[in-house]
Structure 1
Amino acid sequence: MADVTSITLTSSAARRVASIADKQGKSAVLRLSVDGGGCAGFSYRFALGEVEQDDVVSMTDGVSLVVDPVSLDLVAGCEVDFVEELGGSAFRVNNPNAASGCGCGSSFSV
């Protein structure tokens, strides 16, 4: 398990993860992974989970952001934020590796 500071979770996202985890009685660990598909080629997937042996881990305010080694190449250097807007609230990935994205903000291409 490595600590990579180039993958970050904002304080806003950390507070939201902690709140959700507390309500569900789970660990404050947000897993970010990338799946093939989505309207732009790849899609982000978020889940509460546990830290696995090969995960890359970044900590913010006592909350862990974990990424599996396969997804890491596509999200290295990213920032995960939690935004509340008129249209709703969601986790948002600011990914410097993405060449383009879609309107929904949950898929991207490289």
Structure 2
Amino acid sequence: MASQMAEITLTPRAAKRINEIMVAEPPGAALRVSVNGGGCSGFSYAFDITREQAAQDVAIERDGATVIVDPVSLEYMAGSTIDFVNDLIGQSFKIENPQATSSCGCGTSFSL
């Protein structure tokens, strides 16, 4: 599993924002990122706060922030970078996924 953990990168900006969010959450909480079927382009990313981690889940850590990804989502996200952006549209987590062949304007939907 250690090799899979290196396949998803968490940027310092994303780690900082996750830590800011987790201040208001119970101890042991983490950000879960998953890939769901549906969305404008076929698949969509989901972001949830969780305190549960299954044995097969992968935890990506940086600067005290933790992101949990399930094994199925990990396959779709391998090689991705999770960033946090603050632009004219607003603030959001952004996933740069090298496997995505296209994405939609909302930035949370993609196709392979």
Pairwise same-fold verdict (TM > 0.5): yes
Instruction: Tell me the CA shift for residue 45 of structure 1.
Output: 0.3
Matched, 1:66 2:68: yes
Identity of aligned residues (%): 47
Distance 1:26 1:81 in 2: 23
Q: Which runs of 5+ in 2 are unaligned?
A: none
Distance 2:29 2:80 in 1: 19
Return 25-34 or 51-60, whichever deviates more.
25-34
Q: Which amino acid aligns with 2:97?
A: N
Deviations along 1:66-101, one digit per CA (max 9) or x if unpaired, are: 210111110011010000001100000000110000
Distance 1:41 1:85 in 2: 25
* Residue-pair matches, total: 109
The answer for the alignment partner of 2:99 in structure 1 is: 97
The answer for the alignment partner of 2:17 in structure 1 is: 16
TM-score, with normalisation over the residues of structure 1?
0.92
Distance 1:68 1:25 in 2: 21
Instruction: Tell me the CA shift for residue 35 of structure 1.
Output: 0.5
Cα pair 1:21 1:27 within 8 Å, conserved: no
SS in 2 for 1:108: strand
Distance 1:60 1:28 in 2: 15
Q: Which amino acid aligns with 2:19?
A: A
Instruction: Tell me the CA shift for residue 27 of structure 1.
Output: 3.3
The answer for the alignment partner of 1:47 in structure 2 is: 48
Deviations along 1:20-69, one digit per CA (max 9) or x if unpaired, are: 11023353522110000000000000112133211112111011122101
The answer for the alignment partner of 2:58 in structure 1 is: 56
Quickly say closer, same or farther: Cα 1:78–1:96, change in 2 above 3 A.
same
Cα pair 1:8 1:78 within 8 Å, conserved: yes
Q: Which amino acid aligns with 1:107?
A: S
Q: Which amino acid aligns with 2:96?
A: N
Q: Which amino acid aligns with 1:34?
A: V
